[in-house]
Chain A
């Protein structure tokens, strides 16, 4: 079942065309929406929430038309905005309880859900303190908690890793993966960093200048582009020769070799070649920027 679908979706502003004939469908699970700043990601989310009427085309979220069913969609969907949006003078608990009520939860249920969700995003005792004193990481968690508090079927997360340090980024990505799997809530997460989404997404949509560049399962992305870094103690050259002989595409890169992954058998070939040549294997690592490589080509 599609959780959202757009058809010829176009959004023109007086000076720019933010979305241009965008047709895309998204299935349940975690979907990444990638594009440079200004590619139209936030505009797309605004339209999907029914907050911005599109210039042309159609869009449906959870089977509901965005133009006619905005309020119903917003009751079933959670949204984590990109920018700072938290009032500093209230506590995380008070804010999240209040927003749960705005989403239609009765007061007691709102309290229970807020406590649950704040714990899930990793806010404990500090949730009773005023938000003004929180770190960026904690604020991002509060923003995520308010998007989840009414138990939506789908959440839109707009740049959730913005401004986080590497550890915070890791924790946020793990959390997003859990939302999609353990919590059973579909996720549409935007980022301008491709590599980041690769870890958590089942599917990636790439837009640029408001147009669809590509939409495919993460496995398709990585299979065709995966590069392995192979490093041996000595004898990189014989290994390269051997692998080329066995039909692998190999390029020398610094002290190591970059090997294009054609499928699972590539790993076996490398292992066998290293064994046959009696070499010491130091490193066999997946390339870091695999998805980016696709777009560079």
Chain B
């Protein structure tokens, strides 16, 4: 069989591209994993279902705008409203790009090529952040396009839309590093999903309980700090500090500088943990 088609071994004389090309290929591959492209239909179900449900709110908003002439679209509080869906997306898809690597020990295949562990890790963060950004930014863009088309009374909310995009980027960076770092501690996908969602639920619950407790003690000044335990409100507080938007929690946040510092610290911490985890895996 082989003899018929065998035209002998041919050497490759074409161009050899550098590290940037390799990193781009890694990012693409990770994005394909996140959305289940090139894999079974079952792998595509979750990410696309969640992405579609993110579009529900913009569609309803546009309809309200068109039929009732109302113009109160939530560009800035959209991530907070949709936080459960975003958290589920993060939990279900983060382990798809960390667990198989670690479980099936594929690192030697990459590290024996001209990419470093850092390139490899950076590509994962960029891919996950891109996916999360798209998840939030696409519905916002649909909403904005709808607003421009329907043209309800009053000026268009361009400033709010831009604020929404910047917030989406910050949120994507924080969640992706945090989710990936957490998911990478186990080579088992199911455990990774469970740990990310558990941490989100815990943070959300602790935040609410702390707020309620301090509020009932009449310590509103302390209670406002409780919001920052939930990453979605943390990013929202940074947004309201940067763009002067109304807080999505309906209350007030502590001074924005602290939120921004906390956000930066969390980002740095997660990123460091993620890199160290892969350094350890690479050395084996």
Q: Which segment, of A31-39, A102-110, A198-206, faces chain B?
A: A102-110
Number of interface residues of A (CB under 8 A): 41
The stretch of B9-17, B57-65, B148-156 in contact with A is: B9-17
Q: Does B280 contact A (CB under 8 A)?
A: no
The number of residue pairs between A and B whose CB atoms lie closer than 8 Å in the complex comes to 103
Q: Which of A181-228 contact B (CB under 8 A)?
A: 182-184
CB closest residue in chain A, given B25: A101
Taking a contact as CB atoms under 8 Å apart, the answer to whether B109 and A81 are in contact is yes
B113 and A182: CB pair below 8 A? Answer: no
Neighbour of A116 across the interface among B10, B19, B107, CB < 8 A: B10
Q: Does B268 contact A (CB under 8 A)?
A: no
A136 to chain B, nearest CB (A): 15
Interface contact A79-B108, CB-CB below 8 Å? yes
In angstroms, how far is the closest chain A Cβ from the Cβ of B22? 5
Residues A103 and B39 in contact, CB atoms below 8 Å apart: no
Q: How many B residues touch A, CB cutoff 8 Å? A: 39
Contact B14 A106 (CB under 8 A): yes
Select A87's contact among B14, B104, B108, B116, beta carbons within 8 Å: B104
Does more than half of chain B's interface fall in helix, strand or loop, or is it mixed? loop
| Chain A residues at the B interface, C-beta cutoff of 8 Å | 49, 51, 71-72, 74-75, 77-79, 81, 83-90, 94, 98-99, 101-106, 109, 113, 116, 119-120, 122, 124, 146, 150-151, 178, 182-184
Please name the residue on chain A nearest to B16 by beta carbon: A104
Contacting residues, chain B, for A105 (C-beta < 8 A): 12, 14, 16-17
With a 10 A CB-CB cut-off, give which of B12, B107, B116 has the most chain A CB atoms: B12
Contacts of B106 in A (CB 8 A): 85-87
Q: Which residues of B contact A83 (CB under 8 A)?
A: 105
Given B10, B29, B104, which contacts A84 in the complex, CB threshold below 8 Å? B104
Closest A-chain residue to B29, C-beta based?
Answer: A98
The yes or no answer to B5 lying at the interface (CB within 8 A) is: yes
